[in-house]
Amino acid sequence: MKTLYAKIIKKAVYIFFIAFVLIYTIPFPINKELDAVEIKLDDPSYLETHKIYISGKYRFNLFTDNTFQGQISVPEYELTSNEMERLQFIKGIDHESPLVYTYKEGVGTDGRPITKYYHFGKIVSRPLLYRTVIVLYEQYEGKDGDYGGHFNSNTGHCIVPFVSDREEALKILEKYDILPSK
């Protein structure tokens, strides 16, 4: 009787170990098309509908940050069709990552391509890009020609999927603590 339980426990531990190793070594493919709305925090009448296309691979990491390698695009924002930098969801910072796109601007005198970076915003989500929110940065051009920005929590734009109106979007933004404190 004891040996039967020992065998069962040994098999269960073995299966758990294999599942654990697989979860943290094999990236999960993600292909999603999300309906979303864009709102402007200081303008109750502003409401745009968008589609968000997500394709790539999400990797869980035990000791380092989770990552996503692929593409997140919003067709109404043409620059999101450019190559996207890998997302690195920093542990302990509410699972968010900057959305940075690169584009080639020609070839330098040394023959290497001139790459510019566009800081589109940041993405806040749960693991596997579940419950995603895109916070758009106010854009400015830097000294080196790269584009950067920051989020203005009073007047900023946010793209929120799985909602159809401003009130639902604001509830999601409140859950993620994106709204300004009152």
Q: What is the mean pLDDT of the chain?
A: 84
Q: Does residue 57 form part of some domain?
A: yes
| Domain interval for residue 69 | 28-175
Question: How far is the CA of 111 from the CAs of 101, 107, 114, 121, 152, in angstroms?
Answer: 22, 6, 9, 31, 39
Tell me which amino acid residue 57 is: K
Q: Does residue 23 form part of some domain?
A: no
Across 88-92, 98-102, 109-113, 156-160, least confident range: 88-92
- 115 is written with which tokens? 């790459």
Q: How many domains does the chain have?
A: 1
Q: Does residue 22 form part of some domain?
A: no
- Could you list the beta-strand ranges (E) of 60-129: 66-73, 83-84, 87-89, 96-107, 113-126
Distance CA 160, CA 164 (A): 9
- 113 is written with which tokens? 């391509």
User: Highest-confidence range of 21-35, 47-61, 110-124, 133-147, by mean pLDDT?
Assistant: 47-61
Q: Does residue 8 form part of some domain?
A: no
Q: Does residue 181 form part of some domain?
A: no
Q: Does residue 82 form part of some domain?
A: yes
